Amino acid sequence: MQGTEEKLLAMTEEAAVLVRAGRAVYLNAAAREILGGDCMGKRVPELFGELIGGVQASSFLAQICLRQKPYLLRVSRLEKEQIFFLRPQEEAPAVLNQPFLYALRSSLMNMGMAADQLRTQAEEKDCPLLLENLRSITRSQYQILRQLNNAALVLDLSRDRTAPESRVFDLSALCTSILDAAAAVTPQLRFVNRCGSRVPVRADPRLISAMLMNLLSNAIRHAKNATRISVSLLESPRSVVLAVDDDGCGIPPEELPRVLDRYRHGFRLDQMNAGPGLGLTAVRLAAQAHGGALLLESRADQGTTVRVSLERGEQELLRAPEEAPTLETRELLTGLADCLPADCFREQYLD
C-alpha cells in the first residue's frame, strides 16, 4: 500500500524518486521512464553516480548525465527520507550561433584597437583622467569578452561541435597556477589550496581552465562577505572531484533551483547585476563533456560549495603527466573580468 509521500509523488509530472536509508523505495512513472523499471532497492550511487552518493547535505542541486542525456537533479529531505527530482536540461537557445558571436567579437576588437590608440595618446600627453577612463572601458571590454567566450563554449558543447582534447596533465599544477594568479589580483580574499602535489587526469586543459576560472569568478563576485575561497581535489580510481567553496552569505533556498537555468529564463530587474548565468552553464557542460557531473550546495550565512567530477581511468595514475599549461595574463584578466577592479587593467598588464 502506498504511503502519503508515494501518493503525492505519483500525481506529480516531474520525475521523482523516494529514497529511504540510502535506497530507492519508490519511483513515479516519469522517473521509471528515465531510470528504468529495475531501480527499486538500488542505492543512490548506483542510480545517480558516486558524486551524488557521497553528499551528506539534506538538500542540494546537481547536474548529472543519465544514458548520455543531461538532467538537473534537485534533492529535498522529508524527515528520514529524501526525494530526488529529475528534469531534462534544455539545449542552448537558438540566438546563440556562430555568426552572432563573430559579429560581437568583431565589434569588440574594433573597440579594443580604438582604446589602444587613445591610451597611447593619453600616455604621450600625460593625461591621468583619460587613462583612468580607458581602464574602465578596457575592463568592460574584457567583461564582454568573457561572456562571449562562455557563450561560444556553451554553444559548442551543447551542440557537440567540439570534442574535448585528450591529454594527461597534472590537474593540481594547473589549479595552483590559477589560484596563485587569482590571489595576486584579489588580495582582499584568502585563497586556500588543497589540491595536493600531483593529480594526473586525462582531460582538455582549456576546458578545465575555463571551468575553474568561472567557479572562482562566481565565488569572488557573488559570495558577499566572504573572506576565504578554497579549492580542493579529491581522487578516486574512477574520478577526480574539483571543489570550490567559500564562507560567504550562501544562496537563498528559494533561488537555488534556478541558479543553473538563469540564462535561459531571464531574471528580475533587481538581479540584473548578477550576470546572465552563462558561467555555471559552461562549467556544467564542460563537466558533462568529461563524463562528469556538477553539484551545487549552499546554506544561508554559511557559504557555497560547487563540486565538479571528472571521469578518470585507473591507468592515468600510472602515466607521467605533461606539464600544466601556462596561464597568460590576458587569460586571467578575461576569466576574472567580472570581479576585478578597473586598476587591474592598467597598461603594464595589457602589454
> What does the pLDDT look like over 16-62, one tens digit per residue?
999 999 999 999 999 999 998 889 999 999 999 888 988 888 788 89
Neighbours of 204 (CB within 10 A): 19
Nearest alpha carbon to residue 115 among 350, 329, 341, 335: 350
Give one DSSP letter per residue of 69-100, joined into a string.
Answer: EEEEEEEEEETTEEEEEEEEPPPPPTT--HHH
State pLDDT tens for residues 294-343: 999 888 788 899 999 988 755 555 566 677 677 788 888 899 888 888 88
CA distance readout (Å), 276 to 205, 245, 268, 281? 25, 21, 11, 10
Whole-model pTM: value is 0.82
Instruction: Specify which of 91-95, 134-138, 329-333 reaches the highest per-range mean pLDDT.
Output: 134-138
| Gap between the Cα atoms of 351 and 136, Å rounded | 17
3-state helix, strand, coil in the chain (%, to 5): 45, 25, 30
Query: Is 278 within 8 Å of 154 (Cβ atoms)?
Result: yes
Task: Give me the amino acid identity at 333.
Answer: L
| Gap between the Cα atoms of 331 and 333, Å rounded | 6
Sign of torsion over alpha carbons 186, 190, 191, 196: positive
Q: How confident is the model at residue 271 (pLDDT cuts 50, 70, 90)?
A: very low
